[in-house]
Structure 1
Amino acid sequence: MQNRFDGRVALVTGAAQGIGRAIALALAEAGASVHLADIDAAGVSATAAEIGASAHAVDLGSAEAAQALIRDIVATEDGLDLLVHAAGGVRGQVGRPIEEISEEDWRVIFAANVDAAFFLARAAAPVMRKARYGRIVTISSGAGLRPSLTGIQAYASAKHALVGLTKQLAWELGPHGITVNSVAPGFVRSNPATERQWESYGPEGQKRLVESIHTRRLGTPQDIAHAALFFLGEPAGWVTGQVLSVDGGRS
């Protein structure tokens, strides 16, 4: 069954590169009217131009910015059907002992991974409720289900919180025709941060990681996009509150 999104309006965050970019491209190819949001103004503009989408340079750690983004899209499109929150990441941090972690180090990762998802859902929910239709997909992580390979306490905690938010929103919004699900990727070399992490393992660590995966390969951004589009499509209309591990069987 082919998953088409003709006539649907979609917002993908974290879309300048990596997983978010792959999801945005897949939606555009499937017929959706796609809006891209990212803190990287140059990157999101370049991606939007390449795939024929609309670009929004925005820091979604701000409640006001998230509200304004949704308001602008609705004013342009007269609605919002699909929301994918792929923004987040480690914000340049590396694993360190907990006593070395500052309050700011902790909070900046929560702002990017959890606060932004909450602010966006809070802004989009009334629009989707009015339409009696909506699909929300969060991109969490294997780090939201177990300890993180990054070794970053805030990242593991934030991704666990994002999974909790996903499940709670599914319960709240389900009666209004809105599904909320999460894709939890395994290790994917998708951006500069994951490239640095991959290099830090060294040849032996890289070999051990790949051998711990049933399929004996790393994932790709496209692997994650395929899972996201399943949750966004009509065949998944009775699927909500779920977390799908897309990690080659490692979990």
Structure 2
Amino acid sequence: MHLSFAGKVVAVTGAAQGIGAAIARRFAASGARVAALDIDMDGMAPLGAEGMSLHAADLGSRESAAAAIAGAIGAHGRIDVLVTSAGGVRGQVGRPIEEIAEDDWHAIFRANVDAAMWCAQAVAPGMKARGSGRIVTISSGAGLRPSLTGIQAYASAKHALVGLTRQLALELGPQGITVNSVAPGFVLSNPSTEKQWEAFGPERQKAVLSGIHTRRLGRPEDIAGAVAFLASEAAEWISGQVLSVDGGHA
């Protein structure tokens, strides 16, 4: 299926690396004008060289997220599609519950849930005014079951993001806006996920792969393809759904 986004404006958060960068490039290759958003301006530099507009911000802050979205709208005139790929584990590793500090807990929620909420809030008025729009969140298999990372806040935040996705789908659907989520399985997409994979060791790596029907880990491009479908006209009557892209989970 060839999906064209010619004439569309797509904003992608978490675009500096990994899954977010792959999503941004997929839309650009399909004809869209792309606004890349991330806290890491240097990491987004290659996307700028490819013609995307760059907007650096801490998206976990409502004020900063609103300013970044306003900057993207200023650069392109509107936003037709929002993809909230910002998130991750913020450098944390799995630890016993007794060791979790308040700041560690909130840092993961700000990156994974707050950022999606504030960016969706910022794009909603324009989408409502036009009577159309697409919002795609990037949740995780950790939003549907316990997390392989062992990080309590990460599993909790991704479950919360799934809830936010479904609630926004209900609220915004009457205005012609669909809201869906892609839930990746284990994807080697950045230094953090590569570090996690190495930390598993050979035996656990073998166990993880044996639990995947296709017997391989994911690639960022696998996720980008699913996002493009949900953002396309072909998915016009799909909303409030979570699409697991995990190679098949045993």
Partner of 2:181: 182
Deviations 1:98-157 (A, max 9, x none): 010000010000000000111011111001001111000000000000000000000000
**Where has structure 1 moved over 4 Å in runs of 4 or more?**
none
Residues 64-96 of structure 1 deviation map (CA, whole Å, 9 limit, x = unaligned): 111111212222222110000001000000000
* TM-score, structure 1 as length reference: 0.98
What does 1:11-50 align with in structure 2 at a 5 Å threshold? 11-49=11-49
Relative to the length of structure 2, the TM-score reads: 0.98
Moved more, 72-81 or 156-165: 72-81
C-alpha distance after superposition, 1:179-238 (max 9, x if no partner): 000000000000111011000011111111111100011110000001000000000000
Q: Which residue number corresponds to residue 97 of structure 1?
A: 96
> What amino acid maps onto 1:27 in structure 2?
F
Report the counterpart of residue 209 of structure 1 in structure 2: 208
- Rounded Cα–Cα distance in structure 1 between residues aligned with 2:69 and 2:211: 41
Q: How does 1:100-119 map to 2 (within 5 A)?
A: 100-119=99-118
Map 1:109-148 → 2, pairs under 5 A = 109-148=108-147
User: May I ask how many residue pairs the two structures share in their alignment?
Assistant: 250
Quote the Cα distance in structure 2 between the aligned partners of 1:246 and 1:156. 17
Contact 2:56 2:68 in 1 (8 A): no
* Aligned AA (2:149): T
The residue type equivalent to 1:235 in the other structure is: A
Deviation at 1:39, TM superposition (A): 1.1
Residues 3 and 232 of structure 2 are in contact (CA less than 8 Å); yes or no, is this contact kept in structure 1?
A: yes
The 1-side partners of 2:126 and 2:163 are apart by 22
CA-CA distance at 1:46 after TM superposition? 2.3
Residue identity (%): 64
Instruction: Give distance in 2, aligned partners of 1:191 and 1:99.
Output: 28
2:141 & 2:31 partners in 1: Cα distance? 30
User: 1:166, CA displacement in angstroms?
Assistant: 0.1
2:149 match: secondary structure: coil
Q: Gapped runs of 5+ residues in structure 2? A: none
- 8 Å CA contact 2:53, 2:72 repeated in 1: no
**Distance in 1 separating the partners of 2:212 and 2:200:** 16
| Contact 2:55–2:72, Cα closer than 8 Å, also in 1 | no
SS in 2 for 1:16: coil
Q: Aligned equivalents of 1:100 and 1:159: distance in 2?
A: 21
Unaligned residue ranges in structure 1 (runs of 5+): none
Amino acid of the residue matched to residue 230 of structure 2? Answer: F
How far apart, CA to CA, are the structure 2 residues paired with 1:78 and 1:95? 43
